[in-house]
């Protein structure tokens, strides 16, 4: 069942180009204006009444929700919430609110509870899920499938990538339905999305991450920083790393560093900086701050001019692409890093201690 791989996680990392192709297939319009095609139960103009979007999710799905909110927010007010916090502590959704439940399994109790609250307040609810017939699809008004195929490893990998691709398409549907204007940006973004599967393939093939993992075996802690969508990827990189290695890992917004986390940074704490091509200069300032404390820095990003390589200790280079999807490529590198680090210390990668694939209690 593992198709020749030692672990499902490794197999599922490698399946990402296929998962992405499936997520995109038939969903990008082929007319000369390249609008997003009808998204199953969300045909053209179906989201015209949406005034704001609340994304909810837990764990990796929460990070995809954050990613989705940062791209949607350019045109429509959008915010991501942990489903478990959504129940009673956040602004009340109303009829103009689209609540997007991001959940691989469609069975996560906290997320189903958030959907229940949204329905109660008359919001429109949409499940973005991998599982046809799951509870989320029954409880939400509409469903959008991420089509990643079954994921066995407890650590979510290919479903994160497929969630991002699906949310990128949802974003285009939302923007064309609400704002209406067509712009060249849409063309550019859709082209980048269509190229993404082959760029992921290339990233996996060329990744030098295995030898880098060896260098950091004895580190005290592992930090991950980024800005914008890069922040969601930093949080996801830390989650994946702690989940399967049991080592201390933390992700935060690079802008937070000086407000506390910098006190933890030493020569024994590698810092992984996620460059997406957006706000890179500001991120480089954070890199300088941690480098000045002697922390080894691993930069993850495209480096067409070679300038990034000069500012970091190690570079996990990415193919150049649109900033809105670059995070998916960076995340693949971080998945591989977590995988190799966990494998080196013999962890049960597919079944980390204390964790279950699906959390059906709150
Ligand atoms: O099925 P869901 O996407 O709703 O699951 C949410 C989280 O439990 C899940 O992403 C969890 O964080 C993963 N083990 C992370 O790798």
| Ligand 1, CB cutoff 6 Å, lining residues | 58-61, 103-105, 108, 111, 154-156, 239, 243, 355, 358-359
Q: Which of 2, 158, 240, 357 does the annotation list as catalytic?
A: 357
pLDDT 10s digit of each residue in the chain, 362 long?
888 999 999 999 999 999 999 999 989 877 666 667 778 888 888 999 999 999 999 999 999 999 999 999 878 999 999 999 997 767 889 999 999 999 999 999 999 999 999 999 999 999 999 999 999 999 999 999 999 999 999 999 999 999 999 999 999 999 889 887 667 788 899 999 999 999 999 999 999 999 899 899 999 999 999 999 999 999 999 999 999 999 999 999 999 999 999 999 999 999 999 999 999 999 999 999 999 999 999 999 999 999 999 999 999 999 999 999 999 999 999 999 999 999 999 999 999 999 999 999 88
Decide: helix, strand or coil at residue 90.
Answer: coil
Could you tell me the CA-to-CA distances from 164 to 7, 88, 296 in Å, in that order? 24, 27, 29
Cβ atoms of 230 and 274 within 8 Å: the answer is yes
What's the CA-to-centroid distance between 150 and ligand 1, angstroms? 14
* pLDDT number for residue 33: 60
* pLDDT number for residue 32: 62
What's the CA-to-centroid distance between 184 and ligand 1, angstroms? 35
Nearest residue CA, atom 4 of ligand 1? 103
Q: Give the whole-angstrom CA distance, residue 178 versus residue 275.
A: 30
Nearest residue CA, atom 8 of ligand 1? 59
Decide: helix, strand or coil at residue 76.
Answer: coil
Decide: helix, strand or coil at residue 317.
Answer: strand
Decide: helix, strand or coil at residue 320.
Answer: coil
Cβ atoms of 131 and 143 within 8 Å: the answer is no
- Residue 54's H or E segment, with its range, is strand 52-57
Q: Which residue, 166, 174, 195, is CA-closest to 321?
A: 195
What's the CA-to-centroid distance between 58 and ligand 1, angstroms? 6
Could you tell me the CA-to-CA distances from 132 to 10, 128, 149, 174 in Å, in that order? 24, 10, 11, 23
What's the CA-to-centroid distance between 95 and ligand 1, angstroms? 28
DSSP conformation class of 143: E
Task: Choose one of 58, 239, 331 to mutate for the ligand 1 pocket test, by most ligand atoms within 8 angstroms of C-beta.
Answer: 58
* pLDDT number for residue 82: 96
What's the CA-to-centroid distance between 56 and ligand 1, angstroms? 12
Task: Choose one of 8, 12, 13, 60 to mutate for the ligand 1 pocket test, by most ligand atoms within 8 angstroms of C-beta.
Answer: 60
Place of tokens 């690079």: 254
Q: Which residue, 229, 200, 186, is CA-closest to 64?
A: 229
Q: Which residue, 149, 142, 141, is CA-closest to 122?
A: 141
* pLDDT number for residue 307: 93
Instruction: Return the exposure string of 98-136: e unless at least 16 CB atoms fall within 10 Å of the residue's CB, then b.
Output: bbbbbbbbbbbbbbbbbbebbbeeebbbbbbbbbeebbb
pTM metric for this prediction: 0.96
Phi/psi of residue 299, each to 5°?
-90, 140
Count CB-CB contacts under 10 A for residue 27: 22
Assess whether 258 carries a catalytic annotation.
no
Q: Give the whole-angstrom CA distance, residue 140 versus residue 155.
A: 25
Q: Which residue, 40, 44, 229, is CA-closest to 140?
A: 40
C-alpha dihedral, 258 to 261 to 262 to 263, nearest 10° = 120
Q: Give the whole-angstrom CA distance, residue 286 versus residue 292.
A: 10
- Residue 338's H or E segment, with its range, is helix 323-344
* pLDDT number for residue 34: 67
Decide: helix, strand or coil at residue 233.
Answer: helix
Positive or negative, the CA dihedral 217, 222, 226, 230 is positive
Q: Give the whole-angstrom CA distance, residue 230 versus residue 236.
A: 10
What's the CA-to-centroid distance between 261 and ligand 1, angstroms? 26
Cβ atoms of 61 and 163 within 8 Å: the answer is yes
Nearest residue CA, atom 9 of ligand 1? 59
Closest-lying ligand 1 atom to the alpha carbon of residue 243 = 16
Task: Choose one of 80, 81, 108 to mutate for the ligand 1 pocket test, by most ligand atoms within 8 angstroms of C-beta.
Answer: 108
Beta strands 142-145; 222-226: pairing state? unpaired
Nearest residue CA, atom 14 of ligand 1? 155
Closest-lying ligand 1 atom to the alpha carbon of residue 355 = 14
Place of tokens 């307040």: 121
Closest-lying ligand 1 atom to the alpha carbon of residue 129 = 3
């Amino acid at each position: 069942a593992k198709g020749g791989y030692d672990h499902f996680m490794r197999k599922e990392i490698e399946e990402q180009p296929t998962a992405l192709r499936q997520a995109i297939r038939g969903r990008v319009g082929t007319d000369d204006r390249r609008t997003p095609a009808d998204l199953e139960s969300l045909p053209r103009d179906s989201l015209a009444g949406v005034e704001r979007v609340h994304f909810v999710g837990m764990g990796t799905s929460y990070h995809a929700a954050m990613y989705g909110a940062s791209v949607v927010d350019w045109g429509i007010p959008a915010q991501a919430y942990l489903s478990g916090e959504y129940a009673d502590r956040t602004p009340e959704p109303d009829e103009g609110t689209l609540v997007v439940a991001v959940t691989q399994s469609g069975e996560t109790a906290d997320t189903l509870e958030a959907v229940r609250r949204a329905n109660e307040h008359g919001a429109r609810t949409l499940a973005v899920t991998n599982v046809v017939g799951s509870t989320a699809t029954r409880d939400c008004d509409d469903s959008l499938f991420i089509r990643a195929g079954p994921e066995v490893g407890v650590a979510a990998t290919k479903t994160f990538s497929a969630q991002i691709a699906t949310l990128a398409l949802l974003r285009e549907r939302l923007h064309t339905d609400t704002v209406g204007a067509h712009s060249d940006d849409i063309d550019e973004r859709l082209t980048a999305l269509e190229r993404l599967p082959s760029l992921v393939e290339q990233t996996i093939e060329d990744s030098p991450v295995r030898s880098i993992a060896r260098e950091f075996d004895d580190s005290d802690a592992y930090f991950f920083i980024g800005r914008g969508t890069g922040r969601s990827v930093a949080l996801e990189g830390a989650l994946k790393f702690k989940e399967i290695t049991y080592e201390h890992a933390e992700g935060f917004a690079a802008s937070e560093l000086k407000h506390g986390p910098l006190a933890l940074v030493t020569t024994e704490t590698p810092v992984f900086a996620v460059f997406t091509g957006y706000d890179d200069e500001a991120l480089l300032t954070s890199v300088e701050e941690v480098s000045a404390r002697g922390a080894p820095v691993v930069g993850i990003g495209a480096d067409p001019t070679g300038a990034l390589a000069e500012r970091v200790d190690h570079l996990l280079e990415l193919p150049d692409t649109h900033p809105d999807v670059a995070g998916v490529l960076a995340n693949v590198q971080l998945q591989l890093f977590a995988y190799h680090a966990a494998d080196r210390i013999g962890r049960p990668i597919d079944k980390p201690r204390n964790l279950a694939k699906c959390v059906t209690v709150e």
